[in-house]
Amino acid sequence: MEDVIRKALVIQSLNAFIAGAIFIVLPLMMVDKHIPIEEMGLIFAVMPIFMQTFRLVFGILSDYVGRKVFFWLDGLMSTLSLVFYYFSSTAIVFLLGKMAEGVRDASLWSVNRAYFMDHSKEKEAALIKLRGIDSALGALGMMAAGFLVVILFYGNTILLMMGLSLMILPNVRLMKDAVKFHEKLDLAQVVRALDFRRKSPKFKNFIIIFTLIGLSWGFITGYILPVFLSSVGVPVQNIGLLLGVRALCNAGVLYLFTKLWTGKRKILVGGLAFALTMGALALLAGSGAATVSVLVVLTGLVAGVADAGYETIFVSVSDHNFIGRDIGILMIGLQAGQSLTQGLSGYVITYMGYPAMFFMAAMLYALFSLAAYNNMNAKNG
């Protein structure tokens, strides 16, 4: 493995560990500071908007100016978001932190897939490795977070994550872009890059289809699982451990099914299996901490199969000469859908409850899987 890939893996690992820890710490910290759940949903909904807006622009720019500059931005915004969280006591400061975190995620995820593909001959395998490492280190961050909060409390745990975020920057300095990028950038080129009317029908269909998975994710991701587990009586250290195990299961199954099953049918099978487990969680949401814990881990297992199929889509429909742009465009629908349902999630929980929300997430994910599989089988036209 080339040294530049190793540096990219270190950066991805640091980001994943910090994100995993904050995934546990932030929602529980907001509960501790008495932020209403409706406001929590709205705060978390801002992140997909910021992520997609900047991700699309960064992805296009990276095809012209290179990927490395956005890894620098990732390290800086990671630290800034943690500074906001450290000083947060009101909803507005948490909101500023989420905005900074959205720009951080945009800078990282607009270029990390493209960077790995730039440096790799086996592009799908490279993406799966990226997702596997991200899941595994994110899981370790989650598992560590619960115990860190018990030992160090919320503020000191965030300070520790801040120190880790500063370690991103020395690794960025040692990276290098692998390919010769396109001619000098001008505004007209950016506008043309955003015009996807000449893309294949399959590509354009996926922009719409990804909206379905975004709508589903908005009812599952962000603050929802940590706060849900807390509401059924799971202690904070066990929440981190449980969701960390879930993420590790996801990473292991993702890697295993990528090796054993190369066909696109895993999009359908994995997606429907995930929808079924979310439906089971909806039905048994009030059955107690032990049953709920098992079902939450099970959703991570089957999501690994779904994620393996999900990454196959990017490789299949993206133009490898404009990877950053195409991935950014494909994610428009996903992030819009996720932001919408994440913003509504607090109100759904308050007025309808967790079971209704999980059932809606399951139905939306099933629809995504059916539509994505059908579109993958369509002619590229």
Residues 6 or more apart in contact with residue 15 via CB below 8 angstroms? 74, 78, 104, 108, 134, 168
Residues 6 or more apart in contact with residue 254 via CB below 8 angstroms? 128, 131, 132, 135, 304, 305, 307, 308
Question: Which of 156, 135, 148 minimizes the C-alpha distance to 237?
Answer: 148
CB atoms within 10 A of CB 35: 20
> In angstroms, rounded to a whole number, what is the distance separating the alpha carbons of residues 333 and 113?
18
pLDDT at 182: 55
- For residue range 249-290, what is the model confidence (pLDDT) as tens digits? 887 887 777 666 666 777 888 889 999 999 999 999 988 899
Give 3: exposed, middle or buried? Use CB within 10 Å, 0-12, 13-18, 19+: exposed
Token pair for 1: 């493995």
Strand segments, DSSP code E, in 134-232 are none
Quick check: 35 and 98 in contact, CB under 8 A? no
Q: Is residue 45 part of a domain?
A: yes
Question: Which of 66, 246, 73, 234 minimizes the C-alpha distance to 143?
Answer: 246
- What's the CATH number where 246 sits? 1.20.1250.20
Instruction: Provide DSSP, 329-363.
Output: HHHHHHHHHHHHHHHHHHHHHHHT-HHHHHHHHHH
Q: Is residue 337 part of a domain?
A: yes
pLDDT, mean over the chain: 86
Q: Is residue 183 part of a domain?
A: no
Share of the chain above pLDDT 70, in %: 86
> In angstroms, rounded to a whole number, what is the distance separating the alpha carbons of residues 114 and 325?
10
Token pair for 8: 């990219």
Instruction: Residue count of the chain, please give it.
Output: 381
> In angstroms, rounded to a whole number, what is the distance separating the alpha carbons of residues 212 and 206?
10
> In angstroms, rounded to a whole number, what is the distance separating the alpha carbons of residues 40 and 222?
9
Quick check: 168 and 80 in contact, CB under 8 A? no
Token pair 């079971």: residue: 355
- For residue range 351-361, what is the model confidence (pLDDT) as tens digits? 999 999 999 99
Q: pTM here?
A: 0.85
Residue 108 carries which side chain, given as an amino acid letter?
L
Question: Which of 41, 101, 45, 47 minimizes the C-alpha distance to 76?
Answer: 101
> In angstroms, rounded to a whole number, what is the distance separating the alpha carbons of residues 329 and 360?
26
Q: Is residue 213 part of a domain?
A: yes
Quick check: 37 and 350 in contact, CB under 8 A? yes
Token pair 């099914």: residue: 257
Range of the domain at 288: 3-173+189-376
Q: Is residue 182 part of a domain?
A: no
The band of 381, judged by pLDDT with boundaries at 50, 70 and 90, is very low
Quick check: 143 and 240 in contact, CB under 8 A? yes
The b-or-e profile of 75-113 (16+ CB within 10 A means b, else e) is bbbbbbbbbbbbebeeeeebbbbbbbbbbbbbbbbbbbb
Q: Is residue 351 part of a domain?
A: yes
pLDDT at 121: 64
pLDDT at 230: 94
* Averaged pLDDT, 175-191: 64
Q: What are phi and psi of 252, to 5 degrees?
A: -65, -45
Lowest mean pLDDT among 50-54, 56-60, 117-121: 117-121
Q: Is residue 232 part of a domain?
A: yes
Q: Is residue 43 part of a domain?
A: yes
Token pair 């007025």: residue: 351
Question: Which of 42, 293, 13 minimizes the C-alpha distance to 129?
Answer: 13
- Give yes or no for residue 344 having a pLDDT over 90: yes
The total number of structural domains that make up the chain: 1
